[in-house]
Every structure is written in structure tokens, then in C-alpha cells.
Chain A
Amino acid sequence: MLFPTVEFAIFFPVVLALSWLLMPRQKLWKPYIIIASYVFYAAANPKFCLLLAGITLGNQAAAKLIAAAGTERRRKWITGVAVGLDLALLGVFKYYAFFVQDWADLLDSFHLGAPLPLLTIALPIGVSFFTFQAITYVVDVKRGDAEPASTTDVAIYLSFFPHLVAGPIVRASEFLPQLKAPRDPNKVAVGAGLALVGLGVIKKVLIADYLARVLVDPVFAVPQAYAAPDALLAAYGYAVQIYCDFSGYTDIAIGLALLMGFIFPQNFNRPYRATGFRDFWRRWHMTLSRFLRDYLYIPLGGSRGSRLFTYRNLMITMILGGLWHGAAWTFVLWGAFQGAALVTEHALDGRVGRRTPVWLRWFLTFNLVTFAWILFRSQNLGLFWDYLGRFFVSGPATLYTLPVLLAIIVVIGMQLLPERPMERLQVRLEQLNPALLAVMLAATILVVGATVPSQGVPPFIYFQF
């Protein structure tokens, strides 16, 4: 079920009202919210509910075993097996077709047959997100950052519909404590919730989908049909599209959770005002960044060693982070590019970094990030090279329309404005009377909804990851 759809507009008010009605009676509320979340998930494909339930039960069993284990060695061993199984499951669903084809091609070059059947496996929506959340639960329990929770609470944590399909990746230690007692019915950030839902709808439907339709999709599908000016515009257009699409989803998810009394971590913080790649990753998909940092980079050794050791860890972390986005060499290379940029930044730190003006650091970072998005968006490496080739082809600018230019300039420009006044503006909006905000949200949905083509709202980009 997509957030900005008629189906969800019927689902959510009913679920919200019943949720608050049952909230004081936790024995009723907990099974209720699990059922509601599974209904939400089943709308995509009922069969995948079994996978979600399996991951829940498997990781809960592991957490209980870890808590009961007498020795650190045993705890480590159980955690390793649980995380390994989670990753194996993710690997089968997400990467089987990718690796089996490459593996078969390699064996074929030695005239050996394919050892595994060449099959495609349907990717369960959200699997990358709830698998990672399951890993944080098991690891947090092992580290002592979280207590093993009841199976019901773990089921809620992994299936809670606002974050189920595309995050933000909420840690067990952040979410499970919120289930210990009923949410306070007198402490609901209604204004913030409504404002975020409205903002998310505008970002996704009005900006991201519009740019995709009129600019990004045509150019990336057939770069051969466009010259340098259009290729350049589409690259910036995609930078804006992916930001609005994903942060729009996150805004809606966080907003819905707030209306239900739950708090999710922030996932975006004006990423295009970053003045370096470290800064960028502290602002872009923040919950993935900290997952990679805390559950991969630091366990690999982090920066506790020689420079080369740190660089190796950075590269491994970012390449795997790239691969997390999808089974394609473009994602692997995108991750490698991010890793190389971080390594370069690390190497230049102190010497060049401090002497470079802030505006130049911003300019370089923004344009390199945008360049990397071309790799991220390209269907395959061949098309990536085709796309780059268009930068050297002169020709007319055919896609420069006022709405397109406005969308790109406004979204990037808003991120460059001073933070304080923008925050104050947002807080003021959130403090308005909820009834007034509700009318404003309804008007926003009506206007934005009228811009949706008859084919409906396309899925969020991150649903495929």
C-alpha cells in the first residue's frame, strides 16, 4: 500500500482512531497494531507476510538465546549466526539473480555448466529495511544496548507500518522503549505530524514525480536523444528528484508515526548544503549512515589503526552500502565512488581542507554528489557511459521549462538558506491549531492530487531497495 493513495487515505484514519482507542489497553493494542501493519504489508503481496513473521520469530529466538548465554564467546557465536542468516536471506531475495548470472557467465567462460538454476526471485518490498532493523535488535541485545523484548513487541518493532517498507531504519534501542508503556495521549505532536505529511506529499507528488515524468526518466532512458544542456539539467533534476522522493517518504512516515504517538529518528538534514562527503553522509539517509557506521565500519576496526586500515574500512563500508541499494554494478561503483571521496577527504584533511573556502567545498561536494547520482540512476554501466558521452555533444536545450527550473532551484536553494529562520518557520507552522492544519493539509492533498496523472502515483524510489 502506498502512502499517497486512496486506499491509504481510508486505511489510516480508521487505524489511527482505533489505535488511540485501544492504546490504554496494551493487551489489545499490541495485537491490533500488528494485525494492522500486516494488513498494510499484505496489500503488496500477502505471501511476504510469512517472510516478515519468519524474520521476527528467528531474530527473537536469537535474542533470547543471546540473553541466556553464559559466556561472551557464546553470545558472539549466536549473534554471528543470526546476523549471517539475516544477510543470507537478504542475499537470496535481493542478490541471487545478480550473482547467479555473473557466476554462470564466469563458469561458462571455463566451459563449465551453471551450478545453480538461473531463476529470478521476487523481491519482498521493504526487505532491506526490516532485515537491517532485525540485525540492530540482535546486535543491540548482544551489546547490552537493548533488553530482549517480548515477541509481541519485536513483531511491532519490525512490522510497524509507518516505517515498514522504506524506513527510516529505527534502532531497536530507539523503538522498543517506546513500547514499554502506552504512548501519552496528552503528548502528541499533532502539528508536526500533519505538517510533515503535507510536506512529504508535496515533495513526492508535486516535485519528485513531476521531475521524473518530464525530465529525468526520458533523458536517463534514452540519453542518445539529448545533448549536453539537457543531460546536465537531468542530472541536477535527478539530484532533486531522489531527495524529494526519499525525504518525502520519510517525512510522511515520521509524520504518521507522530500522529500515532511514536517518534522516529531524523533521516535527512538538508543534504545538499554539505561541504564535504563526511558532512553529506551525516545529512543524507542518516539512519542508514549510522547503521553502516555502528554495525559495519566500527566492527571492521573503524579508524582505530593506520591510515591505510581506515581507508580500507571506509571503502568496504561504502561499497557494501552501495550494494545494499540494489543488485547492480552501478550501485557497487556508486558505493566505491562515495568511499573514494571519503578516503580522499580524509587524506586531504588538515592540509588542504581548512584552506579551501567553504563555498568551494560546497560547490565541489554538490557537483560530485550529483555526478555520482548519474551512476546511481543509470540502468547499467553502458548507459552510464552513454550518458557521460552526452556532456560532449552540443545541441539544443529542449527541456528547460520554467516549472522544471523552479523546482530544481527552489529545492536546492531552500537547503542553502540559513538553518535557524527555516527551523523557526517550521516550528511556527507546527504550533498552529491542528484543525487549521488539517484544513491546510486537505487543501494540499486536493491540489497536489489533481496533478497526479491517470496512471497514479509511481512507487517511491526506495521501495525497490
Chain B
Amino acid sequence: MSRFDREGVRHFTARQSVLAVAIVAAILLVLSGGSILSAADEEKPGVEKDLLHAVGKPGSTLADNPLGRASAKLTSNLSPDEKLDPSQSFAQTGTGAVTAGQIPPVTPSYFDPVELDDKAPPRQPLESLLVTGDSLSQPLDAELARRLTPEGIEVTRDAHVGTGISNASLADWGQLSAAQVAEHHPDAVVVFIGANEGYPMPGPDGKDVACCSPEWAAIYANRARQVITNYRQGEKAKVYWLTVPLPRDPARQRIASVVNQAVAVAAQPWRSQVRIVDTDEYFAPEGTYSDSIPVDGKDQIVRESDGIHLNDLGSSVLADHLLDRIDLDFTR
């Protein structure tokens, strides 16, 4: 017999049960109603987002009261999130629209000396590496850390699961990337992001632009360029941006393709400093999705069951290729 069946457990009525839960909901709404709207912003367009918006808008208004503000102030110090520089946010830096009539100059950094058969710059020792991105960067980050840490290289893993460059409500990668380099000053940065893209983004006129038009790609490229600029730290660091591996779902394939093209455009001005690592070269060499690829002479599963992420073996394969690429720029 459960202890809840035994005599001695105080029973109440169903009405009190409903009332108690309503009290909890009401208090949360009055003191923290804004969080519903935040949750809505994190959703992709759909029924769930609409429902959260419908509840969140009045909730947000309700929470805008002295008690709500006091509660937010009291609990604000409990957040484990690092404080970010608001001036670096995508909203502050705008959509990067190029001034009409202005032709951006092409500089030598657009070219990789090696590809021009010129002398390669001397390789520098790799002392610190930042591996970041969304859930795509896991478990690659751990794989790289396991390989490089014993060599004395400081590997910082900073995955922000569920985030995306096109969705600044959950994490603003403009701010985040600035904070990361300010804290770690890495010699090289590995970026693997793109599993959660496709959100509408505000265009130059402030109106939301839906995925995946050229306008959307341009906004995405401008945001990615801002992130790259932060990671470059001037001329100090190399950036290895891994493209989104071809996903299984055709709808996601379209988004991945646009994201990859946008990143390639974003990185153009720094060809010798920002390396775009094409993951499809390894995981979808024939342009079609597959759960398995030949590894060590036999077919092996390299993808997770969601058809998006790489599994441990896939991450290990990618780490091999990535380290080969890093070794062209660094000694270790």
C-alpha cells in the first residue's frame, strides 16, 4: 500500500487542488510572466509559438509591475549566465546593409597565399583552442580536448545547445563570441553551429525576413561575419568554421545549404585566416545523406538517429580531418 493511501495523510478536495495550482500559476504569471514571451521567441514559427505568444503577451504586461520588477531584481544574481556586452548584440550592430553605391575594397586577406602558390606563413605553436557552437559542436569538442589536452594545449569547450545565429533570443552570438574571446584569447577557434537555424530575422527595414531567401542569407552572412570578426581578434587567431553536415530531413537540407553558403560569403575577406571546413566532403561526398560512411575500410554509422548530429565515431572522423587542417597552420 502506498503511503498516500494510509490514514494520516491529510486529504483535501479537488477544488483545493485546482485552486493551489492556480495560485502557483498566478504568482508565476504576475512575477515572471515575461518568461513566457521569451519561451515563445525561442520557438520556431508554428502552433506552439503562437500559443505561447498568446499567453505571453498579457503575461508580459502583467509582470510589468513593481512586484515583478522587484522579483526580477532579487533573482537576477542567481543566473549562471555570463554578463554580455550589449553593444555587441546583433540588434545593435544592425543587419550590416552595405551603403548604396559603396564598393567594398578587395584586400590581400581575401586570398590564401598557399592557394596562390605563394610562400606559406610560418606555423605558430598552438597553445589554446576554443571549440564552440551549438549542439553540433558536441561531442567533437570533447574529442578534440581528449586529443589535445595531453599535449599541453588548453582546450576550452563552450557549446550553447539549442542556440542559433538566426535566433538571438536564446543566445546572441554577437555578444557571446565577444565575451568568449575576451575571456579566453584563443590562438584558434573551431566553430560548429547550424542545427537550429531557419528563424526569421529582422531585415534592414526592421521587418522580419523569413528563411531562406537571398535577403535572409545576407542577414545571416552579416551576423556570421560579425562573429568571425570577433573570433579573429584582429590578426591574432585562426578560425575553423565547420559547415553544417547534410541533414537527413529535406526541409533542413535547404536551411543547411543556405547557412553554409552564407558562412562561405561571410568568411571571404579573410581566406588565409578563416578556414571553412566542408564537412560534406567527409560525410556526404556524393551529395546524399547517409547514416554510415566507410571508416577504416568498412562501413560504420557516423550519425545520430536524429539525422542531424554526428555520433562519437563521426566526431572522431571529423576531428582527424580538422586536426590535419589545423596542423597546416600550427605546430603542436
Q: Tell me whether A and B are bound partners.
A: yes
Give A residues with C-beta under 8 Å from B.
Answer: 5-7, 9-10, 12-13, 16-17, 20, 23, 43, 97, 101, 104-105, 108, 114, 118-123, 183, 185-194, 213, 218, 221-222, 224-225, 258-261, 263-266, 379-380, 386, 427, 430-431, 434-435, 437-439, 441-443, 445-447, 449-451, 453-456, 458
Q: List 10 A-B contacts (CB under 8 A).
A: A5-B39, A10-B55, A119-B301, A122-B305, A188-B16, A190-B16, A213-B80, A438-B21, A455-B162, A456-B170
Say whether A438 contacts B78, CB under 8 Å: no
Bound state CA distance, A450 and B73, in angstroms? 11
Interface 1/0 per residue, B242-275 and A, CB below 8 Å: 0000000000000000000000000000000000
Q: Does B323 contact A (CB under 8 A)?
A: no
Secondary structure call for the A interface: helix
Q: Does B32 contact A (CB under 8 A)?
A: yes
Q: Does B25 contact A (CB under 8 A)?
A: yes
Using A120-B291, A446-B32 as known contacts, say yes or no to A380 and B312 having CB atoms under 8 A apart: yes
Say whether A17 contacts B22, CB under 8 Å: yes
**Which of the residues B8, B9, B36 comes within 8 Å of A10, measured between beta carbons?**
B36
Bound state CA distance, A302 and B141, in angstroms? 46
Bound state CA distance, A186 and B17, in angstroms? 10
**Which of the residues B16, B170, B307 comes within 8 Å of A455, measured between beta carbons?**
B170
Say whether A438 contacts B305, CB under 8 Å: no
Say whether A266 contacts B305, CB under 8 Å: no
Residues of chain B within 8 A of A9, CB atoms compared:
25, 28
Say whether B301 contacts A13, CB under 8 Å: no
Q: Does B76 contact A (CB under 8 A)?
A: yes
Residues of chain A within 8 A of B298, CB atoms compared:
104-105, 108
Say whether B2 contacts A266, CB under 8 Å: yes
Say whether B301 contacts A120, CB under 8 Å: yes
Enumerate the 9 nearest inter-chain pairs by beta-carbon distance, A residue then B residue, closest first. A450-B75, A185-B14, A442-B27, A118-B292, A438-B23, A120-B305, A221-B142, A190-B12, A6-B39
Using A187-B11, A266-B2, A456-B162 as known contacts, say yes or no to A118 and B17 having CB atoms under 8 A apart: no
Tier of interface size on chain B: 35 or more
Bound state CA distance, A6 and B5, in angstroms? 31
**Which of the residues B13, B20, B75 comes within 8 Å of A194, measured between beta carbons?**
B20
Say whether A97 contacts B139, CB under 8 Å: no
Using A221-B139, A455-B161 as known contacts, say yes or no to A449 and B32 having CB atoms under 8 A apart: yes
CB B226 to nearest CB in A, in angstroms, measures: 19
Using A6-B39, A442-B28, A455-B170 as known contacts, say yes or no to A222 and B19 having CB atoms under 8 A apart: no
Say whether B139 contacts A379, CB under 8 Å: yes
Q: Which residues of chain B from 22 to 51 have a CB within 8 Å of any chain A CB?
A: 22-25, 27-28, 31-32, 35-36, 39, 42, 48, 51
Bound state CA distance, A404 and B189, in angstroms? 30
CB A248 to nearest CB in B, in angstroms, measures: 17
Give B residues with C-beta under 8 Å from A.
Answer: 2-5, 8-25, 27-28, 31-32, 35-36, 39, 42, 48, 51-52, 55, 71, 75-76, 78-81, 139, 141-142, 145-146, 149-150, 155, 157, 160-163, 170-171, 291-292, 298-301, 303-307, 311-312
Say whether A438 contacts B24, CB under 8 Å: yes
- How many interface contacts (CB-CB < 8 Å) are there between A and B? 200
**Which of the residues A12, A191, A435, A449 comes within 8 Å of B23, measured between beta carbons?**
A435
Most buried by A among B14, B35, B163, B171: B14
Residues of chain B within 8 A of A194, CB atoms compared:
20, 24
Using A186-B11, A221-B142, A451-B80 as known contacts, say yes or no to A442 and B24 having CB atoms under 8 A apart: yes
**Which of the residues A6, A114, A258, A450 comes within 8 Å of B78, measured between beta carbons?**
A450
**Which of the residues B11, B17, B48, B146 comes within 8 Å of A16, measured between beta carbons?**
B17
Bound state CA distance, A9 and B33, in angstroms? 11
Say whether A434 contacts B19, CB under 8 Å: yes
Bound state CA distance, A17 and B171, in angstroms? 35
Q: Who on chain A is nearest to B76 by CB?
A: A450
CB B276 to nearest CB in A, in angstroms, measures: 26
Say whether B291 contacts A119, CB under 8 Å: yes
10 further A-B contacts with Cβ under 8 Å, apart from A20-B17, A438-B23, A443-B27, are A5-B39, A13-B21, A16-B18, A120-B305, A186-B14, A191-B10, A222-B142, A434-B16, A451-B78, A454-B79
CB A8 to nearest CB in B, in angstroms, measures: 11
Say whether A122 contacts B306, CB under 8 Å: yes
**Which of the residues B5, B48, B292 comes within 8 Å of A43, measured between beta carbons?**
B48
Say whether B18 contacts A20, CB under 8 Å: yes
Bound state CA distance, A9 and B59, in angstroms? 13
Using A120-B304, A222-B142, A224-B150 as known contacts, say yes or no to A434 and B20 having CB atoms under 8 A apart: yes
**Which of the residues B4, B19, B42, B292 comes within 8 Å of A258, measured between beta carbons?**
B4
Say whether A435 contacts B20, CB under 8 Å: yes
